[in-house]
Structure 1
Amino acid sequence: MRLSFLEPLYTEPGPFASVYVDTSRDVAQPDRALDLRWRRLRADLTRQGADQALLGVLEEAVGADAEVPGTHGQAIFAAHGSLVLDGELPRPPARDSARYSTLPEAMPLVTQHLPEIPYLAVVVHYGGLPTAETHGWVTVEAESGTWPASAVTPGERLHHRVPVASWHHSAVRLGHQLDAWARRIRADALVVAGDEWAGNVLVRRLPHSIRDKVVRARGPTPTDTGRALLEPQLGSVFRGRMAEHDRDLVNVFIGRRALRGPAVEGLAAAVGALQRGQVAALLLNHPPPASLRLWTGPRPTQLALNEEELVSCGVRAPREEPADEVLVRALVGTAAELVVVPEDELLLDEGVGALLRYADPAATV
């Protein structure tokens, strides 16, 4: 998973206010419910030392996603009286939280983007009979997305309507259009739902390069929900699945580990590689627990397991911070990727591994 969307968080030093709040609209009196939630979060931030200018910026941002229907949440980050990042959450946070700290609390936002699978969703509607070759219309809705974040931030949408009499011919042209679109977004899957006959015509006329990626989905197929096209079906299709890009990285890691190539395992080895800007992708079995801490300095590559290591490298007044915050900043600052891989797919030493850009075992901090 590429973390470039987090770059705005690290262009300026902290302290940061990090707010995670349930902004769902499918509750009674949603505005009142959100107001109560924000009051509690505001009180928490005030106790932690946030000033009025910062609180005012956050108050304007909380609930600004009122046009998004259904269940969802917001991840909002602000610093020095300015809004830094406002991210939509496809699911409400496990609990509302507000933290005023040196580093932004970005890992919960990252985990809501996982596994970040690019896809195309296609709904084919036809209200007549397949034998009625001179009457009726076939309507196609298609939408790109990256699951699961696309549930609340849908991508490009295509609308196509043709007479049923020309559907066989039109499906060929549409198939090539979908194939080009899928290539452009590097789609892992083409999820097709709706009328079975019309959908079969389309699938049979798709180019072979995209036909192998087709997943047929069942169930109701409304196209005007304000959420992602085929949102209910996407969960059952993608849940528990890794993005193909991430799986490729895992396979490279497995190969390098077997051949003792440029890859390391264990927290200490991964932190050392991040210090040198050597990590191409950090692999985790799961996000670090809240109890795990690392020491850090002003720059993303200034991180260590203990304070003495940073002091010996000339870092003045290192700080002990939550490991997840330190690691995310280091990954963004060095343009490294993050892959969360289940233990049953790949068991890592201490739950941590790293693919390296180059092999340099003699390098130090």
Structure 2
Amino acid sequence: MRLSFLEPLYAEPGPFASVYLDTSRDVEHPERAIALRWQRLRDTLARQGADRPTLGTLERVVGADTDVPGLHGQAVFTAHGALVLDGELPAPPAHDSARYGTLPDAMPLVAQHLPEIPYLAVVVHYGGLPTAETHGTVTVAAEAGMWPASVVAPGERLLRRVPVSEWHESAVRLGHRLDEWARHDGADALVIGGDGWACNVLIRRLPGTLRRRVVRVGGPTPADTGRGLLEPQLDSVFRGRMAAHDRTLVERFIARRARSGAAADGLSATVAALQRGQVAALLLNHPPASSLHLWTGPRPTQLALSEQELRTFGVRAPHEDHADEALVRALVGTGAELVVVPGSELPLREGVGALLRYTDPGTPS
């Protein structure tokens, strides 16, 4: 998973206010419920030292996502009274939270973007007589997305209305358009739902490479919900699955670790590699526990297991921060990726490992 969407978070130094809030409006008097939850978080931030400009900015932004339907949440980050990132969460956070500190609390936002699987979703509807395939209209809606984040932030959408009499020929052209789109976005799957006959015509006319990535789904297929196309079906298709790109990184890590190559296993070796900017991808069995801390300096690569270690690098005033905050900043600052892989599939020492860009004799493993 690439973390470039977090770059605005680190354009300015902290301290940062990080707020995660359930902003779903599927309850009675939702604005009142959101206001009450925000008031509790506001009090928490005030006790942690957040200033009035910071609280005022958050007051204006929290709950402003009134155009997002269904269950969802909001992640808001400010620094020095200015909004630096406002992100929609595809599901409400497990619990509302607010933190004011040196680094932004970005891992919960990252976790809601995982496993970030690129896909195309297509809904095909046939409106006509049930016994005639020459009358009526075929309506097609297609959308690119990154599951699961795109269910609340739908991507580009293509719409087509085709007379049934022209559907066989039009499906060929549409198939090539979808193939180009899938190649451009690196889609792992083409998820198709809708009416049987019209879907079958399209699938049979897809280029072979794309046809092999088709996942046919059933169930209701509305295209006007305000959320991602085929949202309920996407969950059943992708839950528990890794993106193909991430799978490749895991396999590369396993191969390199087996021959003591460019791979780090364990927290100490991984932190040392991050200090050198060597990490191409950080592998985690799960996000670090909130009780685990690292020491940090002002630059992304300034992180260490102890205060003394960081001082030997010339950092005059190290801060003790949550490990997940320090790791995410280091990944964003060095352009590294993040892969979360189950421990049952790939056990990592202390739950942490790294695929390296290069290795040298001084790199621990």
User: For the residues of structure 2 that align with 1:143 and 1:278, how far apart are their CA atoms?
Assistant: 36
**Matched letter for residue 323 of structure 1:** A
**Conserved in 2, the CA contact under 8 Å of 1:130 and 1:197?**
no
Alignment correspondent of 1:200: 200
| Residue ranges of structure 2 left out of the alignment (5+ in a row) | none
- Unaligned runs of at least 5 residues, structure 1: none
Corresponding residue for 1:316? 316
Taking the aligned partners of 2:34 and 2:21, their CA distance within structure 1 comes to 8
Aligned: 1:328 with 2:328: yes
The corresponding residue for 2:262 is 262
How many Å separate the matches in 2 of 1:174 and 1:160? 9
Query: What pairs with 1:47-126 in structure 2 (closer than 5 Å)?
Result: 47-126=47-126
CA distance in 2, matches of 1:34, 1:358: 48
Between the aligned partners of 1:317 and 1:143, the Cα distance in structure 2 is 49
Match runs of 1:1-365 below 5 Å: 1-129=1-129, 131-362=131-362
The runs of 4+ residues in structure 1 deviating greater than 4 Å are: none
Q: Deviations over 1:309-344 (max 9, x none)?
A: 111121112111110000001111111100001112
Normalised TM-score (structure 2): 0.98
Aligned pairs, number: 364
Cα RMSD (Å) of the superposition?
1.1
Q: Which amino acid aligns with 2:202?
A: L
The verdict on how the C-alpha distance between 1:173 and 1:130 changes in structure 2, with shifts beyond 3 A counting, is farther
- What is the CA-CA distance between 1:209 and the residue it aligns to? 1.3
Q: CA deviation at 1:112?
A: 0.2
The percentage of counterpart residues that share the same residue type is: 74
Alpha-carbon shift at residue 255 of structure 1 (Å): 1.0
Q: Which residue identity does 2:316 align to in structure 1? A: R
1:19 maps to a residue whose letter is: V
User: What is the DSSP-based 3-state SS (H/G/I as helix, E as strand, rest coil) of the residue aligned with 2:91?
Assistant: coil
- Of 38-47 and 272-281, more deviation after overlay is shown by 38-47
Cα drift, residue 127 of structure 1? 2.9
* Per-residue deviation, 1:345: 1.9
**Which residue identity is paired with 2:53?**
A
1:350 CA drift (Å): 1.3
Q: Following the alignment from structure 1 to structure 2, what is the Cα–Cα distance between the partners of residues 182 and 349?
A: 37
Displacement of 1:130: 6.5
Q: Distance between the aligned counterparts of 2:326 and 2:58, measured in 1?
A: 24
SS at structure 1 position matched to 2:56: helix
Residue 363 of structure 1 and its aligned partner are, at CA, apart by 5.3
Amino acid at match of 2:342: P
Deviation at 1:270, TM superposition (A): 0.2
Cα distance in 2 between the residues matched to 1:41 and 1:266: 35
Distance 2:108 2:363 in 1: 32
How far apart are residue 128 of structure 1 and its match? 2.9
Distance 1:134 1:214 in 2: 26
* Alpha-carbon distance in 1 for matches of 2:146, 2:81: 32
User: Per the alignment, in what secondary structure is the counterpart of residue 28 of structure 1?
Assistant: coil
Once residues 125 and 134 of structure 2 are traced to their aligned partners in structure 1, the CA distance between those partners, rounded to angstroms, is 16
Report the Cα distance in structure 1 between the residues aligned to 2:130 and 2:197, rounded to whole angstroms. Answer: 7
Which secondary structure does the structure 1 equivalent of 2:190 belong to?
strand
* TM-score of the pair, normalised by structure 1: 0.98
SS of the residue 1:309 aligns to: helix
Residue 311 of structure 1 contacts residue 318 of structure 1 at CA under 8 Å; is this kept in 2?
Answer: yes
C-alpha contact 1:296 1:318 (8 A) present in aligned 2: yes
Q: Counterparts of 1:248 and 1:344 in 2: how far apart (Å)?
A: 17
